[in-house]
Structure 1
Amino acid sequence: MTVKHATFTLERTYPVPPARVFAAWSDPDAKTRWFVPSGTHELDFRVGGRETVEAAGPDGTPLSVLSLYHDIVPDQRIVYSTTLSGGDALATVSITTVELIADGDGTRLVLTEQDTLLDDAEKPEWREQGTGDWLDRLGEELK
């Protein structure tokens, strides 16, 4: 039984105002398009709201994601916690802060995630890569 801790920060710049980035995050249909390439997705985007994803991992293991929203400042900040389970085993618990900063006509997004990774079910570099991939898909959504 092992526990690893990791923290990473990713930044992206999008050529749209913060309100557009926030809308892509808060609208269930838009978020499904860029956040969940396969699987089911439900989003209740409000403080106290939940987001769930049910999908399959690369090896076919059922994956369950549950996020709870703790702080939302429209067009500026989103703070949420997430659990990721593979099969019946809890793999990761994380807290994520997303900051949306006006940058000229665009937006600089700064995402910081703090992870507790359990029993080597997930590696820090996998988590960072996966998060970067969906931030890139968000950029495609915003075009």
Structure 2
Amino acid sequence: MNDRTITLGTFTIERHYPHLPEKVFDAFRDPIKKRRWMGGEGDPNSAARKHHGQDFEIVSFEMNFKVDEFERWTFRVPGGELMRNDTRYHRIIPNHSIVFVYTMDCGEHRMSSSQNTVEFIREGQGTKLVFTEQGVYFDDPEAGRGREIGTNDILNKLGEELDRNG
């Protein structure tokens, strides 16, 4: 097992949305909205399909948005093994910040473990969102860069979700 690699990486992404922090925070809190913008179900142009192929499928999704509770995604990519994202919330301050940790697995293989902070900062009638990931990526030195690219795409989809109803 000494041929295994560990890559550490941190990235921060800032987004400016023309919506108040309450609305942006709600898109993280509400499981229906989150499944739509993050999972991309029913969206042929979703971030998940962009990175994993058009046959990307959400197998299950559970979310209990409370401190010390979990969010779990199970999904499959074309021709691939079952993948899993397990998230645990560590701190939630409504309309201000969320701190969570998550792991990503592909079959029996742990791909990564990350701690994330999402900050919602009011800017006039809008929000500056600051998303920071501190990750440990296993066996793929480029995984951190790929995660940053995917997170950028997901935050673009969050913007589309926020614009859905004004």
Q: TM-score range, shorter-chain basis?
A: over 0.9
CA deviation digits over 1:38-92, x for unaligned, max 9?
4032110010110011112365232100000000000000000000001110010
Q: Give the direction of change, closer, same or farther, for the CA distance of 1:30–1:53 in structure 2 (3 Å limit).
A: same
Please report the TM-score for the alignment, with normalisation by the length of structure 2.
Answer: 0.82
TM-score by length of 1: 0.95
Structure with bigger strand share is 1
Deviations 1:79-120 (A, max 9, x none): 000000011100100000000000110000000000000112
Within 5 Å, give how 1:1-143 maps onto structure 2. Answer: 1-37=4-40, 38-39=57-58, 40-57=60-77, 60-120=80-140, 123-143=143-163
Q: Which has the larger radius of gyration?
A: 2
Aligned length: 143
Structure 1, unmatched stretches of 5+, are none
Runs of 4+ in 1 over 4 A off after TM superposition: none
Q: Alignment RMSD, CA only?
A: 1.4
Does the 8 Å CA contact 1:84/1:93 hold for their aligned counterparts?
yes
Q: What is the one-letter code of the residue matched to 2:83?
A: L
Please give the alpha-carbon distance, in whole angstroms, between the structure 2 residues aligned to 1:47 and 1:97: 14
Q: 1:91, 1:121 within 8 Å by CA — same for their partners in 2?
A: no
Which amino acid counterpart does residue 80 of structure 2 have in structure 1? Answer: G
Identity of aligned residues (%): 41
* Counterpart for residue 44 of structure 2: none
